[in-house]
Structure 1
Amino acid sequence: MIEIDVGLARANFTLAVKFTAGEGVTALFGESGAGKSTVLHLVAGLLKPDRGRIVVNGTVFTDMAAGIFLPAHRRRIGYVFQDALLFPHLSVRQNLTYGRWFTKAEPNGITLDQVTELLGIGALLDRRPTTLSGGERQRVAIGRALLASPHVLLMDEPLAALDIDRKREIIPYIQRLRDELKLPILYVSHAIEEVARLADRVILMAQGQVKSDGPPQQVLSPKAGPGDDRFARASILTTTKPSYDPDYQLTQVSHPAGAITLAGRLLPQDGPIRVVIRATDVTIALSKPRELSIRTALRGKVSAISEPLGAVVMVEVELEGGEILAAAVTRKAVDELGLGEGDQVHCLVKSVSIDDRLMAIKD
């Protein structure tokens, strides 16, 4: 359990945050400059707050009123940065075990064999970092952090420097960490797709403060909405019961407002599946259209229409089942359709706009 209640003032920035985080992934989400990485630095002991307390698993890391500030090397923190920061002259095995020179091993701490199996890096142990792909280097960096027997794992945009294919490669390994190690993980990101796939809980930050706190579907819904950038807006819907059509290579998942179809295969499973749908990929229709290539048509009613941002208007639709789906449409389209709050509509989504990067299997 992590307990944070701290304040920090700098020339052009003031941070004042209070929250707790348990096992699993707690994502710190928000625009650049919101203070997300600053929170990690405070937990790690790389920065000293002006006031407040930080407690991890009952150990007081920081208590400014009591004059307590544990140095970074005594905090049992695993830290993963954007860049893997591996030593190029050492082998993967030597990089993995490097941190153990500075931390006392715990009796029930994770072993090298466990880390290599968990992260799939057993075949890399005798190689040098310069021969690895970006995704492989980042997995080694995560392994090195875990072998320090941390009480909490801090991940500061660990996928930001990776291309799409490398992100696809590494996300399943982070999911395994979350599900198998039961460590508290603070995960900084501004990518809604990553947060939807990985986070058990989201702390939405803006201008150094906590704006909202809760599950991804709630915190990142268009109604709660991070930021004002219509082109970056997305919705997270909860679906179930995936089925696969091998003839057409399409997966269909069930939602109270209708079936959602995507190209490609999603392995069947019993738990809920989060689907991220970008506002720019949603089309509004007043009636269910016929003779269209679009396979997904979700039923709902217009709950809000934003003030225009130039030519663009954000239409929020309350789907059957209660979730909110945002659609970015032109102001002219709203006027020509005579669209207003309370209107029954169909939200159309192209199957090819959703793939496995936008699907999050969560227990």
Structure 2
Amino acid sequence: MIEVALRHRFAPGGFALDAAFAAPPRGVTAIFGASGCGKSSVLAAVAGLLRPEAGRVALGGQALLDTARGVFVPPERRRCALVFQDARLFPHLSVETNLRYGLRRAPPAEPGPALEEVVALLGLGALLRRRPWGLSGGERQRVALGRALLARPRLLLLDEPLASLDAARRAEVLPFLARLRDAAAVPMLYVTHALEEVDALADHLVLLEAGRVADHGPVEEVAARPGGPLAARRDAGVLLPCEVLEAGPLARLRFPGGELRATGHPGPPGARLRVRLRARDVAVATEEPRGLSIRNALPAVLAAIGPGGPGEALLRLAVGPSVLLARVSGEAVAELALRPGQPVWALVKAVTFDHRGPG
């Protein structure tokens, strides 16, 4: 378990951080929020680069910081590897030598991946003799990830590692991050302001607003809360864990409660992935629809009706054990006489594949 509780004011009358959460000992915990909400400050305090006025940070029950007891473990002894927006590689060293620097910092008897394993995991084999200045931004970040992993940390800290990359380079690195999440036993705290990175990588989510935790929990639960902070976003929606039943031009995906049909290339039968269904892409019908081009019409129960913005409502739909959100107009709610407990049909207009989810 990763325990974080921090209180710190950066200047008299200035920004105040007052955040507390617990994260699982495995997988990726995303710390998500707008720029300036305190995400990087939390990471700096966990790493030991910020000494807060009050707080506690513990990893696996061992206190790294406990101001009440006077505990402050120096950064170099915390065994937290930090990856920044810029890769911060040694420019005069080759890729292989940069990687070996991380290996030299690993505790001698600590088990962990060998250099060859990390090279294969992150696709670095063709880059080993090159220098950082000859790499793309995405390649540099992959080397930085490899160097951090080879230090065999107890906790991997990633501070917006894709923020400085363009869309093509982000798309290049995301699958490697997902592979690292699935293959490594090292827990990660991942700071980002990009919801697509949360969708692709996160198992657990911590939402920060103005230095405070607005919500936290398993990412699927936080995304599906109609009254939660994410519901106010125009891209509000839910994440569904799916399994590919049938590939092809119109793939069949199974999720708890039903099936979806989608275009795209989700992978071979048996592959697992996570699908984001945005509330704006889900409509409702009070009768079974006929003669529609929409391929996904799912029987559902209207569980709740909440505010969805000016003139709008956000519907919570139960499809078996799964939850969908639908954003509709307030006028539609009145005209259709929608009420909680009513059987409806959820019409899913679009399906977006995200990166492969946890197996």
Q: Tell me, in whole angstroms, the C-alpha distance in 2 between the residues paired with 1:238 and 1:146.
A: 27
> C-alpha displacement at 1:115, in angstroms?
1.6
> C-alpha displacement at 1:25, in angstroms?
1.5
Residue of structure 2 in register with 1:294 after alignment: 294
1:71 correspondence with 2:74:
yes
Q: Specify the code of the residue in structure 1 equivalent to 2:27.
A: G
Residue of structure 2 in register with 1:354 after alignment: 351
Q: Specify the code of the residue in structure 2 equivalent to 1:323.
A: S
1:197 correspondence with 2:200:
yes
Q: Tell me, in whole angstroms, the C-alpha distance in 1 between the residues paired with 2:223 and 2:157.
A: 21
Q: Specify the code of the residue in structure 2 equivalent to 1:267.
A: G
Note if contact 1:152-1:183 (Cα within 8 Å) is conserved in structure 2: yes
Deviation track 1:232-262 (CA, whole Å, cap 9, x = no partner) reads 21112233452113xxx12111245542122
Q: TM-score, normalised by structure 1?
A: 0.86
- Which shifted more, 85-94 or 258-267? 85-94
1:160 correspondence with 2:156:
no
Q: Tell me, in whole angstroms, the C-alpha distance in 1 between the residues paired with 2:358 and 2:152.
A: 26
> C-alpha displacement at 1:213, in angstroms?
3.5
Residue of structure 1 in register with 2:343 after alignment: 344
Deviation track 1:132-180 (CA, whole Å, cap 9, x = no partner) reads 2332121111012112221210012222333443333322322222222
Residue of structure 1 in register with 2:315 after alignment: 316
Runs (4 or more) in structure 1 with deviation over 6 Å come to: none
SS in 1 for 2:309: coil
Residue of structure 1 in register with 2:130 after alignment: 127
Consecutive unaligned residues in structure 1, runs of 5 or more: none
SS in 1 for 2:28: strand
Residue of structure 2 in register with 1:278 after alignment: 278
Residue of structure 2 in register with 1:225 after alignment: 228
SS in 2 for 1:287: coil
Consecutive unaligned residues in structure 2, runs of 5 or more: none
1:12 correspondence with 2:10:
no
Q: Tell me, in whole angstroms, the C-alpha distance in 2 between the residues paired with 1:107 and 1:306.
A: 51
Deviation track 1:246-294 (CA, whole Å, cap 9, x = no partner) reads xxx1211124554212212222465764321112222222223222221
Residue of structure 2 in register with 1:251 after alignment: 251
CA shift in 2, pair 1:226/1:270, >3 Å: farther
Q: Specify the code of the residue in structure 1 equivalent to 2:278.
A: R
Q: Tell me, in whole angstroms, the C-alpha distance in 2 between the residues paired with 1:293 and 1:260.
A: 14
Q: Tell me, in whole angstroms, the C-alpha distance in 2 between the residues paired with 1:360 and 1:103.
A: 30
Calculate percent identity across the aligned residue pairs: 43
CA shift in 2, pair 1:278/1:25, >3 Å: same
SS in 2 for 1:361: coil
Note if contact 1:196-1:360 (Cα within 8 Å) is conserved in structure 2: no
SS in 2 for 1:324: strand
Deviation track 1:81-135 (CA, whole Å, cap 9, x = no partner) reads 2222334443222332344566654453433222211111011011222332332
> C-alpha displacement at 1:27, in angstroms?
2.1
Q: Specify the code of the residue in structure 1 equivalent to 2:205.
A: V
Q: Specify the code of the residue in structure 2 equivalent to 1:325.
A: L
Note if contact 1:25-1:185 (Cα within 8 Å) is conserved in structure 2: yes
Residue of structure 1 in register with 2:306 after alignment: 306
Note if contact 1:78-1:150 (Cα within 8 Å) is conserved in structure 2: yes
Q: Specify the code of the residue in structure 2 equivalent to 1:183.
A: V
SS in 1 for 2:345: strand
Deviation track 1:213-234 (CA, whole Å, cap 9, x = no partner) reads 3322112213353345341211
Q: Specify the code of the residue in structure 1 equivalent to 2:181.
A: R
- Which shifted more, 103-112 or 172-181? 103-112
Q: Specify the code of the residue in structure 2 equivalent to 1:91.
A: S
1:169 aligned to 164, 172, 183, which one?
Answer: 172
1:182 correspondence with 2:185:
yes
SS in 1 for 2:274: strand
Q: Specify the code of the residue in structure 2 equivalent to 1:169.
A: E
Q: Tell me, in whole angstroms, the C-alpha distance in 2 between the residues paired with 1:319 and 1:113.
A: 47
Note if contact 1:218-1:224 (Cα within 8 Å) is conserved in structure 2: no
Count of residues in correspondence between the two structures:
356
> 1:36-185 maps to which residues of 2 (within 5 A)?
36-57=39-60, 59-99=62-102, 105-185=108-188
Q: Specify the code of the residue in structure 2 equivalent to 1:277.
A: L
Note if contact 2:303-2:318 (Cα within 8 Å) is conserved in structure 1: no
Q: Tell me, in whole angstroms, the C-alpha distance in 1 between the residues paired with 2:154 and 2:258.
A: 43
CA shift in 2, pair 1:292/1:164, >3 Å: farther
> C-alpha displacement at 1:75, in angstroms?
1.9
Q: Tell me, in whole angstroms, the C-alpha distance in 2 between the residues paired with 1:256 and 1:52.
A: 40
Deviation track 1:295-339 (CA, whole Å, cap 9, x = no partner) reads 11122133333336334x132232221332122233344344343
